Structure 1
Amino acid sequence: MSDVNTQFAQAQDDVQQLPERPGNLTLLRLYALFKQATEGDVHGDKPGFTDIVGKYKYEAWAALQGTAQETAKQQYVELVESLKSGATS
């Protein structure tokens, strides 16, 4: 297991232990980075206007199209670290 994969796995555990819930935009960023890191580019149909949460999640993930999975893992780790230190909300 590479170093970034180890850090990514640890960040997944750490994000569950955050002292306070991040804001919605940060949660969307975490979601999109996680999906890009684990599944690659967005796939499937974009949810309709009645599924607002699904639409925002899809759009956040689609914005990362073309980002390498290793890069997305590293960005996820960095975001979680900044949340742990209280730098981002």
Structure 2
Amino acid sequence: MDFNTACEKAKTFTKRPTDAEFLEFYGLYKQATIGDVNISAPSALDLKGKAKFEAWNKHKGMSKDAAKAAYVATYEKLAPKYA
């Protein structure tokens, strides 16, 4: 399965992944499509923004191809539970 297919199929999950699983998808997606974090960290009061920023930033230094492969692996691991 390729990255784009995994992205589309993840959007069709019938159940919502946990927040931690969602943030893992988010961080890997941003790393795969943009690369390292290119925005400043949000304020500590923006809890959702801070969580998303940290999920992306934890993949800093990972190549786009490695992030795509990790996203697909995460999708394949979670699909039986949520598809």
Kindly provide the amino acid, as one letter, of the partner of residue 15 in structure 2: E
Q: Aligned ranges for residues 15-34 of structure 1 at < 5 Å?
A: 15-34=10-29
Q: Structure 2 unaligned runs (5+)? A: none
Q: CA deviation at 1:84?
A: 1.1
Relative to the length of structure 2, the TM-score reads 0.92
Residue matched to 2:57? 62
User: Percent same amino acid at aligned positions?
Assistant: 35
2:77 is aligned to 82
Q: CA deviation at 1:85?
A: 1.8
| Aligned residue-pair number | 82
SS in 2 for 1:45: coil
Find the aligned partners of 1:58 and 1:84 in 2 and give their Cα distance: 24
Q: Which runs of 4+ in 1 moved over 4 A?
A: none
RMSD: 1.4
Alignment of 1:46 onto 2:41: yes
C-alpha separation between the residues in 2 aligned to 1:61 and 1:84?
A: 21
**Structure 1 unaligned runs (5+)?**
1-5
Does the residue aligned with 1:47 lie in a helix, a strand or coil?
A: coil
- Amino acid aligned to 2:19: N
